[in-house]
Each structure stands twice: as C-alpha cells, then as structure tokens.
Amino acid sequence: MKAVITSTAKYLPESILSNRDLENILDTNDEWIRTRTGIRERRILKDPEKATSYLCTEVAQQILEKRGISAAEIDLIIVATMTPDMIFPSTACLVQKDIQAMNAWAFDLSGACSGFLYALNTGAQFITAGTHKKVLVIGGEKMSAIMDYTDRSTSVLFGDGAAGVLLEPGKDDSHGLIDARLYSDGRGGDNLCMPGGGSLRPTTHETVDRKLHYLQQDGRQVFKSAVVGMADVAAEVMNRNHLTSEDIDFLIPHQANHRIIQATAERMGIDMEKVAINIDRYGNTSAATIPICIAELDEEGKLQTGNNLILVSFGAGYTWGGIYLNWL
Ligand code: UT7
C-alpha cells in the first residue's frame, strides 16, 4: 500500500525582510545577494512570543480544514525542524496539543534541510505498514532565531516558514510515494552547524560571547557538496525508476541557492519551467522549502493526477536525498 498526499498547506509569516533592509544593517548589497543566491526577500516571524510550533500549528489547522477531518483522526504528527521551540518537549508535541490531536503520537525529526524528505519517507512507512491511516508531516523553521544578523555570509540566506502534507493510504499502487533514496555523511558535520546549546557545549556566558548559538556555515564547502549530492541523487532516482526528463512533470528542489537548483536541473536535463522555485520570495527555510513548493503548486492547481514529481534536497549533517512521487 502506497502513501498518497491528500492535502497540503503552507504558512509564511507576514513580515518581509528584503535585500534592501539588509543593506541597512550589513555590509552587503541587493545585487550580490540576488546574483549569488537568487534571493530577493525572506519572511520573518517577528513576534518573540511565537516560534516554530506556531508556524506548524497554522499549517496543521489548514490541512484539517481543507481535508474536512477532525484532529482526533490524526494518528501521527512528524515535525521536521532544526529550530524547535525548545530542545524538549518536541515541537510536534506542542502542535499536537495546539490542534488537540489527542489520538496522535508525535515526534520531531532532525534532518536539517533534508528533514522534510526524511520525515516524508518515515511517515510513509507507517502508512505502507498498514498501522496508520492519517499522518501529518510538517517542515517548519524559525531560522531568524539562530541567525547572527551581523554575519553577512549567513544571515542573508535564511527565512522563516512552514508547510506540510497529510499522508493517507492510496487506493491502488499507482500513485503516491514510489521511491526514496536518502543519504547521510557525518563527515560534513562541521561545515554547517550550530555549535552551542547542546550537551557538548551547554549555554554559558562564554558560549553566548563566542556566538556559538548561531548557525555557522562554510558556504563554499557546502556548495560544492550540495551541487554533487543533489544532482547525483536526482539522477539515481530517475535511473532506478526508468524516468527520462520528459517523464518528469515537476522537479521540486530544496531552495538553498538558485545556482545549485540550476545545476541539478541541468544534470537531469529538465527545463527550468518544470522546476519549482520560490527562493526569491522566501530564501532558505530549511526543512520547509520543499513542502512550501508543493503547497504552492497545489494551491495554484498545477498538480494533476498522475504527475511525476522528483523532490531533492541537501543539508547539514550532511543529509541529502531524492523522492519520486506520483501525484494522486
Ligand atoms: O541549505 C543548506 C545547505 N546550504 C547550502 O546549500 C548553501 C551552499 N552555499 C552557498 O549557497 C554559497 O556558498 C553562498 C551563497 C553561501 C556564498 O556564495 P559563494 O559564491 O560561495 O561566495 P563565497 O562564500 O565564496 O564569498 C565570495 C565573496 C567573499 O569575498 P572575498 O573573500 O572574495 O573578498 C565574501 O566575503 O563574497 C563575500 N560575501 C558577501 N558579499 C556581499 C559573502 N557574503 C556576502 C554578502 N554580501 N552577503
């Protein structure tokens, strides 16, 4: 039994942080950001009382409404995030409480920018096993909470947002999640991390002074690995499933850098018209980029029954992967 996506939703906070706004606080400029990354603006959750669970709850509520089901019908909630409200309890448990999904169990999945693909494949296993009927899979991030807005090399890249899908059993085996290839390589860990706040370096005056509670990235190293990783896994998923570029209706890549997206599409021989891109409006929302793209395509009525979708990502860990979906 395959897991199919029966509903989608996204939530982006209203407040916009444009490249021009960043020019006022950093030694950067709109031209550098646009040509190097493709980003024009990103959304920021400004309310200090709200965090990732708020974004994810908004998504979950929309999904319930769209599907016309009650929260009590949800069996499992998985939230992919690297910016949980707290280290514990999990953000997924906070969402479960907020939507009152009292029959669901809930957990967070830490896969950084590949978190949504990891979570989607994990959720699908419970459907395929026949033990769960309705699984909510959400990717959500308040990246602004871990940005050093004095560091131009990272703070221009990321934004806040969330999106998700409802997984249910398909009626036949032709639609849904057909194939997934997921990878990790912990040797890349130091190139993209938040060093402080965990059990290795608990919060102290020193960790705060040394800015260890912010995201740190060696952009060039990650760029090189991401270009290879995303293109390789996309090609692998195509080959395994005997797909040519003509067979693919949409490529939905993680939105970290327009140049990485372009390189992946080129390697797959896919026209840029078939590539979902919203990095210009939202920047890199980590685990939320791919579900935001899916929700946008769905809202615009672009996804038709039988469409072939390839989702690909690369992120901290390193983590990367590709998923082949046939749209219900
Ligand atoms: O989502 C998780 C996975 N993450 C990724 O996939 C991100 C991968 N990396 C990237 O997308 C790119 O490496 C970046 C966009 C982060 C950086 O682009 P780059 O072309 O690799 O630039 P760079 O880091 O090599 O820096 C080039 C120059 C440097 O100046 P010098 O040393 O050449 O004088 C930087 O100091 O650009 C400078 N620079 C900036 N200038 C203006 C770095 N950031 C900025 C900035 N504005 N915001």
- Do 58 and 140 fall within a single domain? yes
User: Of 127, 148, 169, which residue constitutes the final position of a domain?
Assistant: 169
Pairing status of strand 308-315 against strand 250-253:
parallel
- Do 181 and 318 fall within a single domain? yes
Q: Which of 278, 284, 308, 326 is catalytic?
A: 284
Q: Is the CB of 37 under 6 A from ligand 1?
A: yes
Give how many domains the chain has, as a whole number. Answer: 2
Q: Which ligand 1 atom sits nearest the alpha carbon of residue 152?
A: 48
CA 91 to CA 141: how far, in whole Å? Answer: 10
Q: What is the pLDDT of residue 67?
A: 98
Q: What is the pLDDT of residue 102?
A: 97
Q: What is the pLDDT of residue 193?
A: 98
CB atoms within 10 A of CB 271: 12
User: Of 134, 169, 204, which residue constitutes the final position of a domain?
Assistant: 169
Residue 93 annotated to the active site: no
- Do 89 and 186 fall within a single domain? no
Query: Which mutation among 20, 27, 35, 36 tests ligand 1's pocket best, with the greatest number of atoms within 8 A of CB?
Result: 36
pLDDT > 90: what percent of the chain?
Answer: 99
Q: What is the pLDDT of residue 6?
A: 98
- Do 89 and 221 fall within a single domain? no
CB atoms within 10 A of CB 305: 9
Q: What is the pLDDT of residue 182?
A: 98
pLDDT bucket at 154, cuts 50 / 70 / 90: very high
Q: Is the CB of 315 under 6 A from ligand 1?
A: yes
Q: Which ligand 1 atom sits nearest the alpha carbon of residue 37?
A: 15
CA 312 to CA 300: how far, in whole Å? Answer: 21
- Do 107 and 180 fall within a single domain? no
- Do 126 and 157 fall within a single domain? yes
Residue 258 annotated to the active site: no
d(CA 156, ligand 1 centre) in Å: 10
Kindly report, residue by residue over 119-150, the tens digit of the pLDDT.
Answer: 999 999 999 999 999 999 999 999 999 999 99
Q: What is the pLDDT of residue 112?
A: 98
Q: What is the pLDDT of residue 203?
A: 98
- Do 97 and 157 fall within a single domain? yes
Q: Is the CB of 34 under 6 A from ligand 1?
A: no
Q: What is the pLDDT of residue 186?
A: 98
Q: What is the pLDDT of residue 233?
A: 97
Rounded to an integer, the average pLDDT of 32-36 is 98
- Do 20 and 127 fall within a single domain? yes
Computed over every residue of the chain, the mean pLDDT equals 98
CATH classification at residue 241 = 3.40.47.10
d(CA 151, ligand 1 centre) in Å: 11
Helix (H) or strand (E) holding 123: helix 115-128
Q: Which ligand 1 atom sits nearest the alpha carbon of residue 286?
A: 1
Q: Which ligand 1 atom sits nearest the alpha carbon of residue 289?
A: 1
- Which has the closest alpha carbon to 141: 293, 314, 321, 289? 289
Q: Which ligand 1 atom sits nearest the alpha carbon of residue 156?
A: 48
Q: What is the pLDDT of residue 103?
A: 98
- Do 43 and 139 fall within a single domain? yes
Residues 6+ apart with CB under 8 A from 10: 59, 161, 162, 163, 164, 288, 291, 292, 295, 296, 299
Q: Whose CA is nearest to atom 25 of ligand 1?
A: 220
User: Of 169, 201, 219, which residue constitutes the final position of a domain?
Assistant: 169
- The 8-class DSSP code of residue 88 comes to S
Q: Which of 254, 258, 278, 308 is catalytic?
A: 254
Kindly report, residue by residue over 224-261, the tens digit of the pLDDT.
Answer: 999 999 999 999 999 999 999 999 999 999 999 999 99
Kindly report, residue by residue over 163-202, the tens digit of the pLDDT.
Answer: 999 999 999 899 999 999 999 999 999 999 999 999 999 9
Q: What is the pLDDT of residue 219?
A: 97
Residues 6+ apart with CB under 8 A from 89: none
Residue 284 annotated to the active site: yes
- Do 22 and 117 fall within a single domain? yes
CA 185 to CA 29: how far, in whole Å? Answer: 34
Q: Is the CB of 224 under 6 A from ligand 1?
A: no
Residue 125 φ/ψ region, left for φ over 0, alpha for ψ in the -120 to 50 degree band, beta for the rest: alpha
Q: Which of 56, 93, 113, 293 is catalytic?
A: 113
Query: Tokens for 79?
Result: 């939230």
- Which has the closest alpha carbon to 77: 106, 53, 99? 106
Rounded to an integer, the average pLDDT of 284-307 is 98
Rounded to an integer, the average pLDDT of 156-160 is 98
- Do 180 and 164 fall within a single domain? no
Hey, what's the torsion of the CAs at 56, 60, 65, 70, to 10 degrees?
-150
CA 189 to CA 15: how far, in whole Å? Answer: 32
Q: Where are the alpha helices (DSSP H) in 210-286?
A: 219-240, 258-268, 279-282
Domain range spanning residue 39?
A: 3-169
- Do 80 and 144 fall within a single domain? yes
